[in-house]
Structure 1
Amino acid sequence: MAAALLADPAWPVRWAAVDAVAWLAQGGSHRVVLRAAAALAERLEDRDWPVRRAAAIGLGNLLGFLEASEADEDVARLALPTFDAVEEVAEAAIRRTLRLLCDAVEEVRLAATDLLPLLCRERGNCEVVSVLVARIEGDERLPSVICRAIVALGRLAVPDDALVLAALEARLVDRNAAVEGAARQALAALEAARLPLPAAERS
């Protein structure tokens, strides 16, 4: 029922349906999760910004739930869906999410920036990293969005990416304290990524 309302002419109905689909899919079957993820990804291009924002948040919540489920022994025992069930949908949603980084509405750009690390399971997606670097080097003007982009870079860039390091280091002298702090946090995350995992985590 909720999925059918995603195409309703009224945006408040679509907005509510997006939220419902995202939450109801958690704990569902592989088929339910896959359909929900695909439907949410499609709404990233909705004509109304509240729906685009809700879709980014909802898809992020669903992906976060699936990722967290991978460590649950009951999930493996019961063969419940994990991130692998929606990996192709997530990869296809990256381009849509990158376009949202240029959305006219700040709230949409924030939600899209937060979604990227959940869509990209591994560091080093050149297209994503390149767009994020461009955002913090001048394409984005709002400190709130710049901070989120910086944090995302800390999670998505490879530790020895010279362009990323230069962009982050340039923000260490930013006149906005929040941006400066985010840059320090991202650089620390990249430095931590250089270190080998403890033996207990490798096994």
Structure 2
Amino acid sequence: MQDRRKVRSRNYLIKALIKLMKNKDVQAITVQNLVDEAQIARSTFYSLYEDKQDFLNQIIDNMFYQLREQTKPEKFDTLSDFYETACYRCYMKHFEYIEEHSEFFKVMLGNHGISSFRKRMEDSAVETYEEIFKYIDETKLPIPKDYLIQYVISAHIGLTFKWLRDGMKYSAIYMAELVSRITFKGIFISFSLELLQ
């Protein structure tokens, strides 16, 4: 099977999963359900994945990998650049990516979704924030870095989920500005510290 055909088959299967999960628990969805909905052969499915769990793991891992790639922080030189430019761009890309793949995120977080999805999203976000905090002087932080990262991630993911549940009634631009203002003109300004190394 050519690479383009594999990509097309994967996309068909993801669309099939999203459609099925709107009305059915993910645990109850079978490989046969997926291939019937995607209109592909079972042999095609098994040429791509070992089983349904492998399929789920791969598509979720890939979704978060792509999100991390989209939101990689850019180098910055001052604290002002940090929260007004570098992180704002990260948040903008984050909400644009979530918006583009909103149906996937909605079903994964919905009543028929995967219970571990939020934890996996948090773990993915930790990687992004560890990259951001490489430029921060930890000795000047008033609290342990890992606790600060967890606090920020919990707030951001919570806001992201609320945005999805509310039907994304605000734009990605508005959400990026909101998160930037709350986080970096709240938390870090309150420290009144020059945090960059």
**TM-score, normalised relative to structure 1:** 0.31
Larger C-alpha radius of gyration, 1 or 2? 2
By relative contact order (CA 8 Å, sep 6+), the higher-ranking structure is 2
**TM-score, normalised relative to structure 2:** 0.32
